[in-house]
Chains A and B, each alone.
Chain A
Amino acid sequence: MLSRVANTLYWMARYVERADNLARLIDVNRHLLLDNETLGSDRIADFWRPIILCTGDEELFQSIYPETHGEDVIRFLTDDPRNVSSIASCIAQARESARTVRDQISDEMWEEINALHLFVRSDEAAYLLKEAPPRYYERIRRSVATFLGISATSHTRDEGWEFMQLGRHLERADKTTRFLDTTSYLPDDGQGGIGAPGMLHWTAILGSCGALGAFRAAHHRFDVEGALSFLVFSRNFPRSVRYCADRVDECIHLISGSPRGGFLNEAERVSGRLLADLNYGNAQDAMALGLHPYLDGLQERFNRIGELIFETFVLMPEMFESQRSMQQRGHDALTAWQEQQQQQ
C-alpha cells in the first residue's frame, strides 16, 4: 500500500472518531447543564471551560470569543469554521481524506461520509442545531456509527483496514483520557480548592463514552477509582484506554508482520511498553501519581506512538536521505496553480 494512502486512511479514521467524540462530549455536557438550571451565567461558563481546555484550543477560543458563554462554546466546538477542530471541520477533513483515497474505500463508505459532510453544511443542520440540538448530535453519532458499520462489513481486512483501526483507536484512547481529564479543570469550589467531581460528573463522563450500562454491570462505584478502573483499565470495554492500546499494538504488529510481545521498530517498542503499563497498572497507581499528571502522561505517549507510526511506515527515514517530498506539501500559489493544470 502506498505510504501516502496509508497515512490518509489513518487520518480519515481519526477525524471521524474525533467528530464522534466531540459530539458525545457536548451532548452529555448539555444534559448535565439541564440538571443545573439554577447556575448563574458565570458558573455556566465555568462548566464549559474544561471542555475547551481538554481539547487544547483555549487560545483560539479566547481570541474569537473573549467571554465564555455556553452557546459560544457549543458553536465553537460544533460548526465554527474558524476552529479546525470543530465537529464540522473534522468531518470536512475526514471527507476530504476520503475523497483523496476514494479508490481505496468502498462506495458505501464514501457515500456515508459524503452524506454526513453534506448534512453538516445543510440548512437542516443549522436549523436542528438551533432548535433541537440533541437531534443534531444524534444525527452525527448515528452517521458515524453507520460509517463504522459499513466499514466493518465492506472493507477488506488488509493493510488499509489496519491503518484505519490504528487511527480510530489512538484517537479514541486519547479522547477517553480527555473526558476523564475534564475533572481536573473543574471550577473553584469556593474554598480555594478544586471542586471535587461528584456522581453527576462521573455519570456525565461515562455517558459521553456510552459506558453507563456497562459500568453499572461491572459494579463499580461512581467515584474516581471506579471510573478509572473502568475507562482506563477495563480489559474488554471498547472505549477503555487499555482496550484501545491493545488494538493499537495489535495493528502495528499486523502491519509490520512481526509477532506480538516483541518489537522490530520503535513504534512497536513504545506501544508494547505502554500496553504493559496498562496491563499491570491499576487505578490506585494512577491516583497516587495524581489524575491529571497521569492522564497527561498517557496523552504524551499516544502522541509519540502517532509520530512513530508516521516515521516508521510513511517516512521510512532509513530508506531516504531527503524527506522533502513526503512531508505535507505546502499549498502555496505555485503548487495550487500547477495542480489546477487544465485537463483537455
Chain B
Amino acid sequence: MLEGYLPDAFFDEMFLPDGTVRPHCAPLLERISGLDQNDFMARKATCELYFLTQGVTFNVYHDSQGSERIFPFDPVPRVIPANEWEHLESGLTQRITALNLFLHDIYHDQQILKDGIIPRSFIEQARHYRPEFRGIDVPADIYIHICGSDLIRDEKGEWLVLEDNGRCPSGASYLLENRKALKRVFPDLFDTSSVRSVDSYPLEVLEMLRHIAPRKSGNPVCVLLTPGCHNSAYFEHCYLAREMGIEIVEGRDLVVRDNVVYMRTTRGLERVDVIYRRIDDDFIDPVVFRKDSVLGVPGIMNAYRAGNVALANAVGTGVADDKAIYAFVPDIIRYYLAQEPILQSVPTYLAAKDDDLRYILDHLPELVVKATNESGGYGMLMGPAACKTEIAEFRERIIADPTNYIAQPVVSLSRCPTWCDEGMEGRHVDLRPYIIYGETPRIVPGGLTRVALKKGSLVVNSSQGGGSKDTWVLRQ
C-alpha cells in the first residue's frame, strides 16, 4: 500500500526523512501494509456511506438543491506519541490559562494595557471586543470554556499554534464520528490497547456546563443554543446535545422574564441555567447587539449581566482570538504567568505597525496575509501561490486599511500519508485539539486532524477542499 511513498522535503508524520518508519507508527504501518488495495478502497467507500446514512453531513450554502455533503474522511490515521501529547497538553493548558487571565483583565482593570504590554488601540479596534461588558463578573471567572486551537508543525516537526478559536469552535463531532467510523469499518487497523479513547468528550463538556451554573442547588438546566437547522454545523449541535442529554434550543424557544431565561415547553415555562451557545455575540441579543437579529433572545444579556444565566463561551472572548492580538500571546503568557511559552507561535507582522507594514509590502510574495476579522480560510492571500494581480489587489487593501491585516511567513505544514486517486501520497495536515475549561482545563486525548486533499495545498478548511482523519494519541 505504501510502496513508493515519498516523504519529500516535508516533515512526515509517519516516516523519517530517510524513508524508514517512525517507531511509534511501525505497528500501524504493518497493519496498513497487510491490507489489499481493492479491499481498502471498498472499505473507504463504506465509511462514506456510513457518514451519509448517519447524516454526518454539512449543508452547502448557496446551493438551490439544498444538497448536503459529507466531510471527506481519510482512513489513514494520524498518530501522536505519548511524550509529544504531554508536551501539547502542558503548552495548551498554559495558553488557555493565560488567555483567561487576559480576558478577565481586559474586561476589568486593563492592567496589561496600563503596563504598556499591548497598545490600547489594538484592543479597541479588535472587532470582537465588547466594551459593554467591562466590569461584569462571569461565573467562576472563566471566559473561554471550550477552545479549539489550531496547531501545525513546521519542517523540523516543531509544534506551533496557528490560531486560538475561542468563540464558537466547531468540529468536535467529527473527532468523535471519525473514531466511530474507523472502529466500525477498519477494526483490524485499530489498536484498542494503545490508542487513548476520546469518548468522554461530551461528558466533559456537560461537567463543565454544570460547573458554571449560577444556581448551585439542585439540577441545573443546561441547553445548547443553535442558529437553526440551516446552519452548516447543525448536525454537530444536535449530536452534542444528544450525547450530553440536554435540549437543543433556538432563540425563539427562549424568553426572558424579570432577567431570568426560560424555555417554552408544552407545560409552560422552564428556567434555564446554562447556555452552551453556538451563536455569535453579534446575534445573541437584538436589544444589545445587532438589532436585526432574528436568531437571538431579546433581554438575554440583561439576564447574563444579572448573573442569572451562564453562557459558554462568555461574551467578548473574540478579543483573545483576534488575529492581531495573536501576535501578543507570548507576551500575555509571560505577563500573567511569569513563564516562557511552551508552545511557540508563528512569527506575525502587524500591518498596523509602520515597520511591519513596510516589511509586509516588500515581501508579499513570500507571506500569508490574513484579514483580522475573517475566519474559515476566507479573506486570505497565500503569497507563494498568488498571481501578480491578486498580490497587487491585496497590497491596495492593506494600504487602505492596515489595522485589518496581519502577515506570517508560510509554514510548510507537516504531511501525513493520505489515500488519493493515484494511491498513497503525502498531504498537509493540521490538528485541532479541544480544551475544556471547567474546574480545571482538560483536553480530550485526540483532536480533529484536518487534511488538505488538494496536492500541494496548505489550506485545510472544509470550505476550501479539506478533509479529516482520525487522530490517535498513544498511551505509551
Contacts and interface: CB of A to CB of B under 8 A. Distances in A.
Genuine A/B complex: yes
Interface of A: 1-6, 96, 99-100, 102-103, 110-111, 114-115, 118, 159, 255, 313-314, 316, 319-320, 325-326, 329, 331, 334-336, 338-344
Contacts of A114: 53-55
Contact of A2 (B52, B54, B253): B253
B306 interface: no
Given A316-B264, A319-B268, A340-B230, A329 B241 contact: no
B53 A339 contact: no
A313 to B, nearest CB: 5
* B53, B148, B165, B241 interface centre (most CB from chain A within 10 Å): B53
Given A4-B264, A114-B53, A319-B268, A339 B167 contact: no
- Dominant secondary structure of chain A at its interface with chain B: helix
Interface in B327-350: none
Interface string B213-234: 0000000000000011111111
B53 A325 contact: no
25 contacts: A2-B265, A3-B253, A6-B266, A99-B55, A102-B238, A102-B242, A103-B241, A110-B54, A111-B54, A114-B55, A118-B53, A159-B266, A255-B266, A313-B266, A319-B268, A326-B264, A335-B295, A338-B227, A338-B283, A339-B227, A339-B228, A339-B230, A340-B231, A341-B227, A343-B168
Given A343-B233, A344-B168, A334 B266 contact: no
Nearest to B49: A118
B293 interface: yes
Interface of B: 52-55, 61, 148, 165, 167-170, 227-236, 238-239, 241-242, 247-253, 255, 263-266, 268-269, 278-280, 282-283, 292-295, 321, 375-376
Nearest to A117: B55
Contacts of B278: 343
Given A111-B53, A339-B227, 7 more contacts: A3-B253, A103-B241, A319-B269, A326-B264, A331-B230, A338-B283, A340-B231
A2 B375 contact: no
B52 A118 contact: yes
A96 B227 contact: no
B55 A334 contact: no
B311 to A, nearest CB: 16
Contact of A340 (B148, B232, B266): B232
A3 B265 contact: yes
A103 B235 CA distance: 10
Contacts of B265: 1-3
A146 B238 CA distance: 24
Q: Give the one of A1, A96, A341 with max B CB within 10 A.
A: A341
B266 to A, nearest CB: 5
Contact of A4 (B53, B235, B252): B252
A57 B236 CA distance: 37
A336 B61 CA distance: 9
Of B227, B242, B264, B266, which is in contact with the most chain A CB atoms at under 10 Å from its CB? B266
A325 B252 contact: yes
Contacts of A4: 250, 252-253, 264
Given A102-B242, A319-B269, A329-B294, A2 B249 contact: yes
Contacts of B241: 103
A210 B121 CA distance: 75
A102 B241 CA distance: 9
A29 B253 CA distance: 44
A130 B228 CA distance: 38
A338 B230 CA distance: 10
B154 to A, nearest CB: 23
Contacts of B55: 99, 102, 110, 114
B264 A338 contact: no
Contacts of A341: 227, 231, 279-280, 282-283
Given A1-B265, A336-B230, A344 B253 contact: no
> Which of B54, B233, B241, B252 counts the most chain A CB atoms within 10 A?
B252
Nearest to B321: A344
B223 to A, nearest CB: 9
B164 to A, nearest CB: 10
A308 to B, nearest CB: 14
A317 B205 CA distance: 36
Contacts of A320: 255
B166 to A, nearest CB: 8
Nearest to A105: B242
A99 B229 contact: yes
A99 B55 CA distance: 8
A344 B165 contact: yes
A103 B255 CA distance: 22
A159 B295 CA distance: 26
A312 to B, nearest CB: 9
A342 B294 contact: no
Given A6-B266, A102-B55, A343 B238 contact: no
A283 to B, nearest CB: 37
B253 A339 contact: no
Contacts of A118: 52-53
A2 B53 contact: no
Nearest to A162: B266
Contacts of B52: 118
Contacts of B293: 338
B251 to A, nearest CB: 8
Which of B229, B234, B283, B295 has the most chain A CB atoms closer than 10 A to its own CB? B229
Nearest to A104: B242
A110 to B, nearest CB: 7
A92 to B, nearest CB: 9
A159 B267 CA distance: 10
A111 to B, nearest CB: 6
B67 to A, nearest CB: 10
A4 B265 CA distance: 8
A1 B52 CA distance: 29
A159 B269 CA distance: 16
A103 B253 CA distance: 16
Contacts of A316: 264, 268
A340 B61 contact: yes
A335 B283 CA distance: 11
A313 B55 CA distance: 30
Contacts of B169: 343-344
Contacts of B165: 344
A3 B265 CA distance: 5
Nearest to B247: A2
Contacts of A6: 266
Contacts of A313: 266
Contacts of B170: 343-344
B269 A344 contact: no
A342 B283 contact: no
A336 B54 CA distance: 25
Contacts of B238: 99-100, 102-103
A326 B292 contact: no
Nearest to A100: B229
B53 A115 contact: yes
A344 B167 contact: yes
B440 to A, nearest CB: 23
Nearest to B268: A319
Closest 7 CB pairs of A and B: A103-B242, A343-B170, A344-B165, A325-B252, A343-B233, A339-B228, A102-B238
